[in-house]
Amino acid sequence: MGKKILIVDDAAFMRLLLRDILVNGGYEIAGEAEDGNDAVAKYRGLAPDLVLMDITMPEKSGIVAVQEIMAEDPRAKIIMVSAMGQQSMVVQSIKSGAMDFVVKPFHPDRVLDSIEKALAKAVAW
């Protein structure tokens, strides 16, 4: 059984694209969320091995969702998903606890490489 990943993006087509990349890469989809509130709730309920988190979403941004998840689970493994031109938000995400980021449009190899590296890292206390 592959590692379980939670996909968080407000755009359904992006979630579908990521789902295809992950399934083809041998990962299991733990669930999907379309905003930061849903992401935090699903993280609590699903306990995924890793989260792919969009930065810009309605209701609650990915950055705030990362901060909330990390406050509850400092061992959480989160990779941010960003569009070009969001470098300052990516830096803020990393400072909030995200392990890495991938830029849209996705290159499947980059997504899978980032996931493999994040899953291999032990989170320090």
The domain spans of the chain are 4-120
Tell me the pLDDT band of 91, cut-offs 50, 70 and 90.
confident
pLDDT of residue 125: 44
Instruction: Dump pLDDT digits (tens) for 31-82.
Output: 999 999 999 999 999 999 999 999 988 889 999 999 999 999 999 999 998 8
Whether the pLDDT of residue 93 is over 90: the answer is no
Provide the CB-side half-sphere exposure for 104 (13 A, CA). 18
pLDDT of residue 35: 95
Length of the chain: 125
pLDDT of residue 43: 98
Whether pTM > 0.85 for this model: the answer is yes
Q: Does domain 4-120 have CATH number 3.30.43.10?
A: no
Contact 83, 104 (CB under 8 A): yes
